């Protein structure tokens, strides 16, 4: 094949791309060059810039300071703002951050501001009297940015997505270059649409085989980070391809790409296939976002910094122990760890497929420890409330099993947050969690301990009160 048939236009001849990895191909295109190599410094054009309530106000401040109080963003249609972090809290400063985003979106005429409330002139105030479980958001609210970006049709193969959040790398599941940046860089992009970037060297992870029952994508990435260390991919692109990818759903790929940063990776990226196309096309169509794109494909002659083969069928339920995501152990060897709490949620572990795996194990049983469930997006919450297994919804199955399910999707306790955040650890507890990061203090109290695991392992452990291999449930 000498041309790439994208879903939009026919584009570059592959002769231009010989010897480049997927990441290099995208960065070459985005910088207007025929080819780039690892280590090159290039000016990259952004296709999308995403920011949220934690970093958005700071980014706006940098933009106004550097470009002027009346400056306009380089392209309103390429700016996506998704409040999601410190939302369902009575903390007035956190509420004010959402108001700053609303004022900026109005001033700039930004079409992709996913506000918490419906009134464009209103103020966001969380009603603590209603409690954390009942819905307190409007029609446009989108939930956790990394799960919401693809849902709302903002992730497209071959594009460049910058976001003011380290887990922006999750969108690499869709065959795009996506990475987290700081407020200063984001402020610069708001003004210019460009960023100076060093092209990362690519580590190649070839996936073979298929996951065994009870094993999830989360186990794959925890295994891999344990293999290379939590700094083992520092400023590298992590490319995932090979025959094993076909057996992974888009949710699975998102989980793996999301945690590239937990190995220090600059980005994670998957090959494009029929599943990618079907998901992206459906989401762009549904939301009326830009529907044409040019994927990048392998040509087989590229040079990798390092190559590893991952045999999916050999991976077992895996846990990353306190105090970092590289502390890998097998769940079956961890039964001596008694737990106080279990948590399923976040961009990594709060997707519909995560809750399905969670509910399969909890169905008809009851948890032994405090267990929290936070859907990543409103659409996921609706899925769980509308999907029935026989006479019960998945939501009801979880509630009957003793899980505290909130209708307010967001980052919640994944990042600790203000003291009234749902699920936050305000005392030194031990928690098994389907989230993605477990450095000290990550989910609240600095002396708490977080054990990262798949939703299946979290469910099995919630039933016993100690870390449990889900294949025993
Ligand atoms: S859910 Fe957690 S990891 Fe994901 S964006 Fe929110 S705070 Fe970050």
- The model's pLDDT over 379-410, given as tens digits with 9 standing for 90+, comes to 999 999 999 999 999 999 999 999 999 999 99
- pLDDT at position 10: 39
pLDDT tens-digit series, residues 96-147: 999 999 999 999 999 999 999 999 999 999 999 999 999 999 999 999 999 9
pLDDT in tens, 158-186: 999 999 999 999 999 999 999 999 999 99
Q: Report how far ligand 1's centroid is from the alpha carbon of 113 (Å).
A: 18
pLDDT at residue 15 greater than cutoff 60: no
* 415 Cα to the center of ligand 1, angstroms: 6
Name the band, by pLDDT with cuts 50, 70 and 90, for residue 473: confident
| pLDDT, position 63 | 98
pLDDT at 12 over 90: no
Looking from the CA of residue 145, the nearest atom of ligand 1 is 5
Please tell me which residue, 202 or 473, carries the higher pLDDT value: 202
Question: Given pLDDT bands bounded at 50, 70 and 90, which one contains residue 18?
Answer: low
Is it the case that residue 6 has pLDDT exceeding 70? no
Rounded Cα distance, 37 and 20, in Å: 7
Query: Ligand 1 within 6 A of 377 CB?
Result: no
Average pLDDT in the chain: 96
436 lines ligand 1 (CB under 6 A): yes
- The DSSP annotation for 259-283 comes to GGGGGT-SEEEE---HHHHHHHHHH
Residue 1 pLDDT > 60 = no
Distance CA 61, CA 81 (A): 15
Ligand 1 contact, 456 CB (< 6 A) = no
Ligand 1 centre to CA of 411 (Å) is 5
**Average pLDDT estimate for 213-234:** 98
Q: Who wins on pLDDT, 36 or 6?
A: 36
In the numeric block, which tokens belong to residue 418?
Answer: 């203000």
Q: For residue 128, what pLDDT is reported? A: 95
Residue nearest to atom 2 of ligand 1 (CA): 414
> Residue 79 has what pLDDT?
98
C-alpha of residue 192 to centroid of ligand 1, in Å: 27
Taking the CA of residue 52 as reference, the ligand 1 atom at the shortest distance is: 5
Residue 300: per-residue pLDDT:
87
Q: Look at residue 440 and tell me whether its pLDDT is greater than 60.
A: yes
Please tell me the distance between residue 301's alpha carbon and the centre of ligand 1 in angstroms.
36
48 contacts 112 by C-beta, under 8 angstroms: no
Report residue 80: phi and psi, to 5°: -120, 125
Query: Which pLDDT value is given to residue 372?
Result: 98
Task: For residue range 262-281, list pLDDT tens digits in order.
Answer: 999 999 999 999 999 999 99
**Both tokens of residue 315?**
């991976």
Rounded CA gap, 377 and 145, in Å? 9
Q: What percent of the chain has pLDDT over 90?
A: 95
Task: Name which CATH class applies to 319-472.
Answer: alpha beta
Collapse the DSSP code of 50 into the 3-class scheme (helix H, G, I; strand E, B; otherwise coil) and give the result: strand
| Residue 17 pLDDT greater than 60, yes or no | no
- 434 CB within 6 A, ligand 1: no
Q: How far is CA 82 from CA 50, 233, 261, 303, in A?
A: 7, 28, 20, 37
CA of 144 to the centre of ligand 1 (A): 7
- Which of 187-196, 297-306, 428-437 has the lowest average pLDDT? 297-306
Q: Is the pLDDT of residue 258 over 70?
A: yes
Residue 429 pLDDT: 98
**Ligand 1 pocket mutation, candidates 411, 441, 442, criterion most atoms within 8 A of CB:** 411
Residue 414 near ligand 1, beta carbon < 6 Å:
yes
């Amino acid at each position: 094949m000498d041309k790439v048939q994208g879903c939009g236009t026919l584009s570059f001849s592959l002769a231009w791309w010989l010897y480049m990895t997927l990441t290099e191909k995208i960065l070459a295109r985005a910088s207007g060059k025929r080819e780039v190599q690892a280590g090159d410094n290039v000016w990259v054009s952004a296709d999308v810039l995403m920011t949220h309530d934690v970093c958005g106000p700071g980014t706006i401040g940098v933009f106004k300071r550097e470009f002027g109080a009346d400056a306009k963003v380089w392209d309103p249609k390429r700016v996506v703002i998704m409040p999601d972090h410190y939302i369902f809290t009575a903390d007035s400063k956190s509420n004010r951050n959402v108001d700053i985003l609303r004022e900026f979106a109005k001033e700039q005429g930004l079409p992709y501001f996913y506000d918490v409330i419906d009134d464009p002139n209103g103020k966001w105030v969380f009603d603590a009297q209603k409690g954390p479980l009942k819905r307190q958001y409007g029609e446009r609210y989108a939930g956790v940015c990394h799960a919401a970006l693809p849902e709302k049709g903002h992730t497209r193969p071959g594009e460049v997505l910058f976001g003011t959040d380290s887990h922006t790398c999750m969108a690499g599941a869709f065959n795009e270059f996506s990475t987290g940046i700081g407020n200063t860089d984001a402020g610069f992009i708001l003004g210019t649409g460009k960023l100076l970037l060093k092209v990362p060297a690519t580590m190649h992870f070839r996936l073979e085989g298929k996951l065994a029952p009870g094993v999830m994508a989360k186990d794959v990435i925890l295994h891999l980070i344990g293999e290379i260390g939590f700094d083992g991919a520092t400023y590298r692109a992590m490319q995932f391809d090979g025959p094993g990818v076909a057996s992974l759903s888009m949710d699975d790929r998102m989980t793996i790409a999301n945690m590239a940063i937990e190995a220090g990776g600059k980005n994670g990226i998957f090959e494009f296939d029929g599943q990618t196309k079907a998901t992206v096309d459906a989401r762009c169509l549904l939301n009326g976002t830009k529907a044409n794109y040019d994927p990048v494909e392998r040509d087989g002659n590229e040079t990798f910094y390092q190559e590893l083969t991952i045999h999916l069928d050999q991976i077992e339920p895996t846990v990353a122990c306190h105090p970092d995501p590289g502390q890998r152990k097998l769940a079956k060897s961890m039964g001596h760890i008694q737990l106080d709490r279990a948590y399923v949620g976040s961009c990594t572990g709060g997707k519909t497929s995560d809750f399905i795996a969670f509910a399969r194990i909890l169905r008809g049983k009851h948890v032994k420890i405090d267990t929290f469930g936070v859907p990543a997006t409103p659409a996921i919450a609706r899925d769980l409330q509308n999907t029935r297994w026989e006479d019960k919804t998945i939501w009801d199955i979880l509630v009957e099993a003793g899980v505290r399910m909130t209708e307010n999707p967001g980052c919640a306790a994944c990042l600790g947050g203000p003291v009234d955040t749902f699920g936050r650890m305000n005392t030194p507890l031990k928690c098994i969690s389907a989230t993605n990061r477990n450095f000290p203090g990550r989910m609240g109290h600095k002396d708490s301990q977080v054990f990262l695991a798949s939703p299946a392992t979290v469910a099995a452990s919630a039933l016993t009160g100690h870390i449990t291999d889900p294949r025993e449930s």
